[in-house]
Amino acid sequence: MGEFLSFTIAGIVTGSVYSVAATGLVVTYTTSGIFNIAHGGIGMLMAFLYWQLRVGWHWPAPLAMILVVFVLAPLFGAGLERGVIRGLRGASVATSLVITVAIMVFLVGVANILWDPTVARELPGFFEPSGVQLGGILVTWHEIITVLAGGVVAAFLYALLSRTRVGIAMRAVVDDRNLLAMNGAQPNRVSMLSWAIGASLASIAGILLAPVLQMNVLILTLLVVNAYAAAMVGRLSSLPMTFVGGFTLGLIEAYVIGYINLSGPLLGLREALPTLFLFVALLTLPEARLRTARLAGAVGPRLPTYRKAFAGFGVLIAVTVIVSGMLQPADISRTALGLAYGLIMLSLIPLVGFAGQVSLCQMTFAGLGAFAMARMGADGNLIGIVAALVLAGAVGAIVALPSLRLQGLYLALSTMAFAVLMDKMVFSNEHVFGNLGALNIPRLDLLGVSFDGERAYMILLSIMFGVFGTIVIAIRRGRFGRRLAAMRDSQVACATLGLSLARTKLTVFMISAAMAGVAGALYGGLAGSAGGVDFLMFQSLPVILLAVVGGITTVFGSLIGGVLYALLLYMQSKFPALNGLVFMIVGAGALSLGRNPNGLSFFITQQVRRVLPKEPANPPAAAPPPIMEEVSGIAATAG
């Protein structure tokens, strides 16, 4: 009985933290319509600020707590809403998700620069180690305060949102800002208050959790994944059900740890439990409603002809041959890394750029490809590449199954949860990459030609980039590409015309995952070995953000993104003191998405066209049919 009571108390304490964090997500979502993926990053940053005040500068705990929770966190949340979130009004779900991911990555970079991650830190709990005896179990004051904090937050939010004028205004601002303004309220101030409260709740969760966990940037940031699961139980709208979800998750986690032998294949189950809970919550959600057409007024990049594309790829290969002949082997490897990352980013274009389906697990598919190449590609034979394509594509089809029911936010969360699950349960398994281990990955031998040399392998990567780029352009210029664009613009219209959205989503997920698998096999061959740490979920975030910065709809954008990522990694290796430089710059760059949604590739091509002489005017050609008319013809042909 005492053992059961001990596990129950631990579950209630953990569930209280999850509930507090999840309610912050619900408050910001219900009042702004934007799901803040950076919620965990805010809690992490505030926990480190609290540590700095209490431990680093020896402030009294109550004073440090008051300053962080009631002053710094609300100011940060309000400033975030004013400086970033307000500009996302009317933006697509994909855009808002990418921006909040960028904020999270930026905060991780800032924390790594301000607090050296190689230095161990501990944050003592409140009044530790004293506590009270309950049924023969010592319950510390920190645990008691944690549970009380959960109750106080629940009561405060219930009273605020249902009993006060400002709370009613906070719930109304997301439905109709103009109507709210006509009734005398100030929607902008209401939104700032909502984000201030959300940031304050994130700081409470981070401070309460930090003494239980270690003061680690990534661990505290991933608290948000656990909070996602609790928030999904409440359907991002019901605070009581959100608290039920948080406490349920905490109790399940405590009982599993206490009563199940977590060894062997189950070794990573403890860390994966919140992710599994999130999957169950997502799968029980009702099927998402189809979206109607979105406003389209922005100028997008031109679709290149095959002639221009082949010319561009030829230039890339020629430049690679020339440059690789001028570099030392070590410099060739660093430069080739940009092409390898560019290949992975290319796999995102059909899924994110054309179809508008946000995926946060692309490096996971790349990891599966590297694993297949290591196991099946002995001596660099082509079977390894085929195995990488098949394995990643098959897993991509499985991951796509929730996308047949879910859209936008929920789809992105399901891919993020899948990546975390692979980190904890698969990539750390001794039969895959091993616990912090690595596998030797051979370089490809193609048609009897060996690419073992650094220069030869860099040329191979440029050739493969041209092949992948041609596939991407062929997809966009074909009927399937027009179907993807139509689905991105209006799923209702596509369904009305008889197109199978489920088949379209499943196909594009498989294509994207298979391309990422092949890219991962080539990426692993560049270094000669790879391990699970190379393909963690957090590695997927800079990849998708830099693909967006470069231009998520263009092949040239993927090349820019890959080169930028390789350059940032090189700079970080040269200046170890700037440990968070990559994350910080990537996050800051992606925050420019609101002003330049088409990325750097579109900006560069625009500037080049202004300099180059204009082509002679041709007689006006017949206007192409609107995209939905083309799709209507496709549907009629298919029927």
C-alpha to C-alpha distance for 45 and 47, rounded to whole angstroms:
5
The pLDDT tens digits for 327-359 are 888 889 989 999 999 999 999 999 998 888 888
Q: From 1.20.120, 3.30.70, 1.10.3470, 2.60.120, which CATH number describes the 2-259 domain?
A: 1.10.3470
> Higher pLDDT residue, 619 or 340?
340
Q: Are 155 and 22 in contact (CB under 8 A)?
A: no
pTM to 2 decimal places: 0.85
Both structure tokens of 415: 């891919």
Would you say the C-alpha torsion 375, 379, 381, 385 has a positive or negative sign? positive
- Fill in the amino acid letter for 258: G
Residue 193 · residue 183 · CB < 8 Å:
no
Report the half-sphere exposure of 304 (CA within 13 A, side-chain side). Answer: 20
Burial bucket for residue 241 (CB in 10 Å: 0-12, 13-18, 19+): middle
Query: Residue 94 in contact with residue 34, Cβ under 8 Å?
Result: no
Tokens of 189: 């101030």
What average pLDDT does range 132-142 have in this prediction? 83
* pLDDT level of residue 89 (50, 70, 90 thresholds): confident
pLDDT at residue 590 is higher than 80: no
pLDDT at residue 520 is higher than 80:
yes
Q: Which helix (H) or strand (E) holds 439?
A: strand 438-440
Torsion of CA 193, 194, 195, 198, to 10 degrees: 120
More confident: 44 or 165: 44
**Is pLDDT of 499 > 50?**
yes
pLDDT tens string 289-336 = 555 544 444 456 778 888 989 999 999 999 999 999 998 888 899 899
Query: In this prediction, what percent of the chain has a pLDDT beyond 90?
Result: 28
> Which residue ranges does the chain devote to CATH 1.10.3470?
2-259
Q: Evaluate whether 418 touches 361 at the Cβ level (below 8 Å).
A: yes
Nearest to 212 by CA among 11, 414, 427, 477: 11
Measure CA of the first residue to CA of the last residue in the chain; give whole Å.
Answer: 65
Distance CA 248, CA 11 (A): 8
Q: 241-260: per-residue pLDDT in tens?
A: 888 888 888 888 888 887 87
- What Cα–Cα distance (Å) separates residue 162 from each residue in 167, 172, 216? 6, 12, 37
Q: In this structure, are residues 326 and 474 in contact, taking their beta carbons and an 8 Å threshold?
A: no
Residue 470 pLDDT greater than 80, yes or no: yes
**What is the arithmetic mean of pLDDT over 119-132?**
85
Q: What pLDDT does residue 203 have?
A: 94
CA 493 to chain centre: 29
φ, ψ for residue 502, nearest 5 deg: -60, -45
The mean-pLDDT minimum among 264-278, 378-392, 460-474, 568-582 falls in 264-278
- What phi and psi, each to the nearest 5 degrees, are found at residue 565? -65, -45
Using CA atoms, how far residue 514 sits from 353, 367, 462, in Å, is 17, 11, 19
Instruction: Look at residue 207 in the predicted model and tell me its pLDDT.
Output: 92
When the pLDDT of each residue in the chain is averaged and rounded to a whole number, the result is: 82
